[in-house]
Structure 1
Amino acid sequence: MPWPVTFFPSGRTVHVVAHTPLLQAAREAGELLESPCGGHGTCGKCRVRLRAGQAPATGSAACLSCAELDAGWRLACATPVTGPLEVEIPDAALDACMHAILTSGASVSMPHDTRPPGAFGVAFDLGTTTVAGTLFDLHTGRELATRAAMNRQIERGDDVISRIDAVRRDAQALNDLQRLVADTLNAILLDLCQTCQVSAVAVRETVVAGNTTMQHLLLGRDPSPLGEAPFTPAFTGAQTVSAAELGLRLHPDATLTVFPQIGGFVGGDTVSGLLASRLDTLPYSALLVDVGTNGEIVLQHEGRLYAASTAAGPAFEGARIRQGMRAAEGAIDAVWREADDLACHVIGDGPARGLCGSALVDAVAELLRLGAIDESGALRVPDDAAEGLASRFQTVGGEATVTLAWGAAGESAVRLTQQDIRELQLASGAIRAGIETLLHTAGVTARSLGALLLAGGFGNTLRIANAMRIGLLPRAEETAVRFIGNASLAGAKQALLVRGERARAQSLRDRTEHIDLSRQPGFSDCFMEHMLFPSEQGVSA
């Protein structure tokens, strides 16, 4: 018989058959819950608390303590419904699933083509983990508001490979993933229109920049060929289609345009970033790096463009990190040394609930300087640690940890674990190996670069010295490093407002040489080398 499950704080109730996973029940109720591991019970991010009713705890024991289980905490993906339940979704989970940034309505008008009054458009950056959209008045070129949300596809895995695998295993998965990304865009569109008091049917045009897999899934195109060599996309040119046919709730004649793709996993977001950064126009060698789940790297040298993509994974966005989260209230976003101890900043200045990617880089860099992490990544108490610092090092569940923020009464401390450090090594090593491979291909050194452009929301929060200390970025002149923000979204805005920019985007795509890292001799060795943290001497050399 179906059992009722009620979720709080929304109060939504669904009826599901016995043994339905609680995560599936939440989705049927329209609740958003992170599940970066794809519902395999390994990431611990789909935590919920039972308010009433009973549910087995065995599947949650790997990620939750006995005290947490006794207090009613469960992993939604690992908990079957065996009776009536009342379930509370914690604020932290809700914050992680939807976060917003409202820009000033008084922003200046941008260069734009002539459009009739009452016409609106939206530019999207379609990321593997996060989707951002900006609403424009196309008549005036004025930017009205920006919203960002978690990509709902994350319930099918936190990286592009897991989503491609889902399509290869399940004939229905492609339709499901297309619906999930359309739902994400619709949620952002609704929020934008309500905020700006604009009717959704007034939105006549959308432009989307995403990586190769995301653009395929949005258009309902099979990404399976991207899952094996030679990683051939189904299309490389820009595509313009009916937005309504993709499930977007806009003007019935609204169009959706996605950017051209360079090849392999170097997709439309890279072309969009090139468009916005004007990398090709710089009179010196320059590198564009988008540090994200699907890290894209473009090198401009002597008029030539080289591009590569490297699977960094979602560690920089807080996923696969034990207490990782996005940069929302309660996230530690900065860590530094203060006297003989560690200090941190928490967004919102309240209790710490977790740490975001910038704090992960900061913490590891400071621990390297303190001698608490060696070149292999092993965590240990420094020999000369003062009492306050030494007290932060504990073994929890058989794993070495260091406490970044002590928990208040009844709250857990926020700890960096040995496994978190390993995840950072994988992500950092992948990005750095991609950078070094492109530099080697073009015969240029990092120190000869006139500019190192960091794109993406995460790039904006990096402390350059710390990124270089962990080996994520090569040792270059710090004055050459520039933050350019969300270049993918910026390029999508330009292409939305000025149609001529779309032709320029195609030209950039045609000029760029795709470097398939998997086919480059020595790439694997380079990756293994840069998984190790550089010595202090190597950093300062």
Structure 2
Amino acid sequence: MVKVRFVPENVEVKADLGENLLEAARRANVFVDAPCNGNGSCGKCKVKLKEGKAETKQTHHIKDQEWAEGFVLACETKILEDITVEIPNSHATNMSGMRIEGISESREKEIFERARKQVIDNGMSFGSYVKKDYLEIELPTLDDNISDWDRIKRHLRIHLGFNKVFCRLPMLRKIPNMLRDNDFKVTITHIPRGDNRTTIVNIEAGDTRNRLYGVALDIGTTSVAACLVDLYEGRLLAKASSGNAQMKYGADVINRIIYATKRGGLEKLTHAIIHETINPLLTKMYEEANVGKDEVIAFVAAGNTTMCHLLLGVYPDHLRREPYIPAFIRAPFIKTSELELEANPETFIYIVPSVASYVGGDITAGVLSSGIWASEENVLFIDLGTNGEIVFGNKDYFMTCACSAGPAFEGGEISSGMRAAPGAIERVSIDPFTREPQMKIISEETPKGICGSGLIDLIAEMMVTGIIDRRGKLNRDLKTPRIRFDEYEIGEYVLVFKEEWNLEEDITVTEIDIDNFIKAKGAVYSGAATLIESLGLDMSIIDRVYIAGGIGNSLAIDKAIQIGLFPDIDRDKYVYIGNSSLMGCYLTLMSEDARRKLETIAGQMTYMELSAYPSYMDEFISACFLPHTDIERFPSSSVKINNQ
């Protein structure tokens, strides 16, 4: 055995001789970004070998100067003796400080109010299915010596009309001391069901009828967002978000599914999402709002189909193998205690139903909150996250598909890419004469990398200023220090020189990055085009486009159209609707009518498997240019390209 010490975390772990360094970091719970799950293709798991020897190799991801300084790829390194490894700050950046959607408080309030109004206008009522009642129970005597539990049931029958009252063992254990410590004056939390039945799920001292809370949770592949809700008033009491700790096992669902098939892999993935991601978010919100976990009595969660399998610890490998069959679409009601979630142990977690292997409950929740189900207009709904899911339809029908966009829109598989966190470059413009960039940085901090909205701006600007051609290749004839080529003849554009901000390394975008991004945007556009074409229609039929997902409010629609990500239609038709999945969970939390509508939506959506559609591959290949091989589809882009 040898020892591996990680700094600046100052964590030490024992390892077998020849063990992979990335796996050792995972065992030590030291986060090392590895979007490709350690197959050597992304170059993100770059660390610095400070002391000791290891068997490793230089790849094109590591420049000569970095190699001389001791930088290695963790996934390409075998441990030969006791070593000390330095983890660069960039790895921690990718896990912390993420915004839920990067929108203002006023804009967020507007989005929530719009969704609430839509539900109410369609005849649905708001109000929690969970109830609280204050009880002043008759004290026991020698003449009235029935059991505590029978005494509670008798009180509820006489005063509240419940003939059948139930509870589970945890409640039964709380009752004796709770009653006597509080002079038999307590508040019960219970869930009424038809036929005068109810189930008690919590008992508290005194009168706490004004305190009833629930959690809405969006489990994304890259990020997880949650909000704590006052179930009486519908107010958001606290919000929290972070990177999904499963990222250390791969940036996309396929890599995580593969990791889940390894020995102990599924258990590690489930532990990462629950104990390393969700529970810290819950604890943070409870502390901020001064709410006890036992007061949280309702819980709604949504995620893509793979995330739901990994949350529940259900073997997911059949999701990626033809004919792509999930273990479940609708999960049973599960108690939070079964998953070791930080909430009242008697709370049931409702997991929003999925549609297919690659269209999950996050899309079902998104359709609910967007209001497509009540719209007379033809609506194109695009969730632009780690996975690209698309819905097209109106109140009469919904068609949906999933495209393998990959994690590029959230910074994955991009050399200087990162999530939308403080320090991320979110907007870019380039001077057409000097080719010098100007940037907007989240929180106006020191730049640490570039997020999805910044990449869209950057590639659009590089195209119209002639820095790249329509294939995404750099113009070798331009004389500017910002364009350079390495020893492998791979070109890159330098967005930020490290000397300008005292950084560890330059922030760049390479031809490989651009190619990955073009494939991602091509997958989204071709998915939408194929979905609409399958109905015998074209893009002109679209009345409204809803954009959801983690790319944030900084997305410039005009730039996205320039590169061929979205159809070239009237910009006024585009609406950004925030985290529609989280919004749908909130509506479900607050309204039983909304939950029933959600179930209906999941059953009505028709899923199209793009790989089985004859013309999809041709459509995808055509979309892998800037903006498209058929430039007539993008008249506004063609004008700018011709005038460059």
TM-score (norm 1): 0.91
Deviations 1:168-194 (A, max 9, x none): x43533333222222222222222223
Which residue matches 2:5?
5
Which residue matches 2:421?
328
CA distance, structure 2, for counterparts of residue 425 and residue 528 of structure 1:
10
Which secondary structure does the structure 1 equivalent of 2:97 belong to? strand
In structure 1, what residue type is equivalent to 2:91?
Answer: A
Correspondence list, 1:152-163, <5 A: 152-163=245-256
In structure 1, what residue type is equivalent to 2:558?
Answer: A
Out of 92, 95, 104, the position equivalent to 1:94 is 92
User: How far off its partner does 1:290 sit?
Assistant: 0.5
Matched, 1:470 2:468: no
Matched, 1:46 2:61: no
Greater displacement, 241-250 / 427-436: 241-250
Greater displacement, 530-539 / 138-147: 530-539
Which secondary structure does the structure 1 equivalent of 2:403 belong to? strand
Which residue matches 2:123?
none
Matched, 1:396 2:395: no
Which residue matches 1:286?
379
Out of 525, 532, 539, the position equivalent to 1:439 is 532
Which secondary structure does the structure 2 equivalent of 1:36 belong to? coil
CA distance, structure 2, for counterparts of residue 534 and residue 7 of structure 1:
44
User: How far off its partner does 1:273 sit?
Assistant: 0.1
Out of 73, 76, 81, the position equivalent to 2:74 is 76
Matched, 1:407 2:505: no
User: How far off its partner does 1:67 sit?
Assistant: 2.4
In structure 2, what residue type is equivalent to 1:371?
Answer: G
In structure 1, what residue type is equivalent to 2:214?
Answer: G
Question: Are 2:355 and 2:607, in contact at CA under 8 Å, matched by a contact in 1?
Answer: yes
Distance 1:196 1:101, change over 3 A: farther
Which secondary structure does the structure 1 equivalent of 2:358 belong to? coil
Which secondary structure does the structure 2 equivalent of 1:74 belong to? strand
Which secondary structure does the structure 1 equivalent of 2:345 belong to? coil
Greater displacement, 464-473 / 231-240: 231-240
CA distance, structure 1, for counterparts of residue 354 and residue 459 of structure 2:
35
Greater displacement, 37-46 / 420-429: 37-46
CA distance, structure 2, for counterparts of residue 371 and residue 67 of structure 1:
30
Deviations 1:404-442 (A, max 9, x none): 222215642221110011101110111111100111122
User: How far off its partner does 1:505 sit?
Assistant: 0.4
Correspondence list, 1:354-373, <5 A: 354-373=449-468
In structure 2, what residue type is equivalent to 1:174?
Answer: L
Deviations 1:483-526 (A, max 9, x none): 00110111011112223221110111112111111211211111
Greater displacement, 22-31 / 220-229: 22-31
Deviations 1:108-148 (A, max 9, x none): 99754264343332211111111111122334422122222
CA distance, structure 1, for counterparts of residue 410 and residue 579 of structure 2:
14
Which secondary structure does the structure 1 equivalent of 2:239 belong to? strand
Which secondary structure does the structure 2 equivalent of 1:471 belong to? coil
User: How far off its partner does 1:6 sit?
Assistant: 4.4
Question: Are 1:238 and 1:261, in contact at CA under 8 Å, matched by a contact in 2?
Answer: no
Distance 1:139 1:115, change over 3 A: farther
Correspondence list, 1:304-323, <5 A: 304-323=397-416
Distance 1:200 1:403, change over 3 A: same
Correspondence list, 1:457-536, <5 A: 457-534=550-627
In structure 2, what residue type is equivalent to 1:403?
Answer: V
Distance 1:119 1:69, change over 3 A: farther
Which residue matches 2:264?
172
Out of 369, 378, 384, the position equivalent to 2:473 is 378
Question: Are 2:55 and 2:80, in contact at CA under 8 Å, matched by a contact in 1?
Answer: no
CA distance, structure 2, for counterparts of residue 212 and residue 275 of structure 1:
17
CA distance, structure 2, for counterparts of residue 440 and residue 271 of structure 1:
22
Question: Are 1:433 and 1:523, in contact at CA under 8 Å, matched by a contact in 2?
Answer: yes
Out of 182, 185, 199, the position equivalent to 2:278 is 185
Question: Are 2:467 and 2:475, in contact at CA under 8 Å, matched by a contact in 1?
Answer: yes
In structure 1, what residue type is equivalent to 2:29?
Answer: G
Out of 445, 453, 457, the position equivalent to 2:546 is 453
Distance 1:432 1:459, change over 3 A: farther
Asked which structure has the greater CA Rg, the reply is 2
Question: Are 1:124 and 1:207, in contact at CA under 8 Å, matched by a contact in 2?
Answer: yes
Which residue matches 2:15?
16
In structure 2, what residue type is equivalent to 1:405?
Answer: V
Which secondary structure does the structure 2 equivalent of 1:491 belong to? helix
**Long gaps (5+) in structure 2:** 117-125, 133-209, 637-644
In structure 1, what residue type is equivalent to 2:498?
Answer: G
CA distance, structure 2, for counterparts of residue 521 and residue 301 of structure 1:
25
Which residue matches 1:37?
36
Distance 1:35 1:449, change over 3 A: same
User: How far off its partner does 1:481 sit?
Assistant: 0.4
Question: Are 1:372 and 1:380, in contact at CA under 8 Å, matched by a contact in 2?
Answer: yes
Greater displacement, 174-183 / 451-460: 174-183
In structure 2, what residue type is equivalent to 1:157?
Answer: G
TM-score (norm 2): 0.77
Which residue matches 1:27?
26
